[in-house]
Structure 1
Amino acid sequence: MKAGNIEQFKHLSQFRDLKDFNNNIEAFLAEHKKDFTKSELICFKALLRYCAKIAGVSNVSINKLLQSISERFGEVSESTFHRMKRKAIKLGILTVYTTYRKNNSQSSNVWVFNRFLNSQTIDTPISDAKQEKVAKNQKNIVEQLTPHETNNLSKTNNHINKRNENVLDASYTSNRVPVEFRDLVKYFFDDAKTIEELWKVIQIQTYYLSYYSQKDRLELAIDSFKQMVRNIKFGRKIRNIFGYYWGIVGAILDREYENTLHEMYEEYAC
């Protein structure tokens, strides 16, 4: 590929606009933020900043990118950037094209971000016809997110059993899952496996938080689940509830960590 102005790579963009691009990246990080180290995430997000002119496409040089990172966050090694690049490529979110000058010497790469969300599942205005199609595609999620009345539980269980004989209702949930969390989730996802997987997210995210009690984990799980349900009720389309739930839990823990640092700073500043 020949090197040139960023405008000549406009055709490589896979996004309608910047909002479409940002929605896709938000969904990707909700599911895969855990796969990157803190320094790699800094590199990832720095690259995103250079993809605003052409949504999802940039031809910024690595040297310029690392320089901008060092000015804002401190020095990050080039090897860290390349680790991030390899992970992003492996996860399918990034494609890298090598470009060459007229004398055949290598120039800056072209960084192209790929779609993570299908264009019909993102949270953007669409026509009535497309809304009907989206609703059909999201039928299972909508059904699961509608609380079941007590007298309809038997009908719901029969529907689930017909759909998949291997699906067990909430009463079969492992006793490792707190009863309070099970009883909340079952009104939306009456499926033991789903409840257990959601609780597993809490266990993994708090594994190294030795100061977290079981009560703390339960509160985190309930608050995060309520936030997820609220977002879906307000129209958020989700392709993977576990990845989305992971993102919400991580965001809450990140805010808690930042607040702790702020409190410590104020304490020692006095």
Structure 2
Amino acid sequence: MKAGNIEQFKHLSQFRDLKDLNNNMEAFLAEHKKDFTKSELICFKALLRFSVKVVGVSNISISKLLQAISERFGEVSESTFHRMKRKAIKLGILTVYTTHRKNGSQSSNVWVFNRFLNSQTIDTPISDTKQEKVAKNQENIVEQLTPQKTNNLLETNNLSNKRNENVSDNKYLVDKLDGSFTSSRVPVEFRDLVKCFYDDHKTIEELWKVIHIQTYYLSYYSLDDRISLAIDSFKQMVRNIKRGRKIRNIFGYFWGIVEKKLDEEYKSIICEVA
């Protein structure tokens, strides 16, 4: 195969779009993540990051890929990359084509990710469900966070109805739990930042849910990536509010900030591999 611009390898792509690629890679890693070491996974996900201009195809050189990894995660050896490559090929998720220059010397390989999901089926029922949940979440998120109203009759009960009052109080307390009661699914770093401004467990959990939904299909995103995205986005939201921005719905506004940051990241990746 002759070496050339990445555009000439478009015919090797097996995916409709970036979302289709991410769905397949997420499904693959759900089953085979255990087959790779931590360093090998870093190599796998880094190669995936450089396979977006032509979806699922890259011709980045190993040296450039390892340099990009070292700048972000620390040094990873070339032998680690080759171990990842052999495993990925054996598992059927990666095909490697050698290319040659006009003078016959070998050039960079072409890395082609293969489908893991059947292209004749709807890739994942989960993806459709998630899309519905996103829309529903956008519409109902305020209602979900609105504390339930206490019963006025219970508030006027006398001491003879103390037991009923206790039940009402307990219900009220559940709705008013502070940030220390946030679900363990929310990273501590994000929880501790948000509770300085919104010390309510539901608010913190719903803000993190925005991150979870927005990055659901980004299989190359690590937990640290999600935390960094969440913290940067929240800081930007707080900064804008402090500067006088009027916001009716912090969750919808936060969603917009996160979405814009992901769009900017996508454009930067495109530029990197151009």
Q: Normalization by structure 2: what TM-score? A: 0.45
Q: Normalization by structure 1: what TM-score? A: 0.46
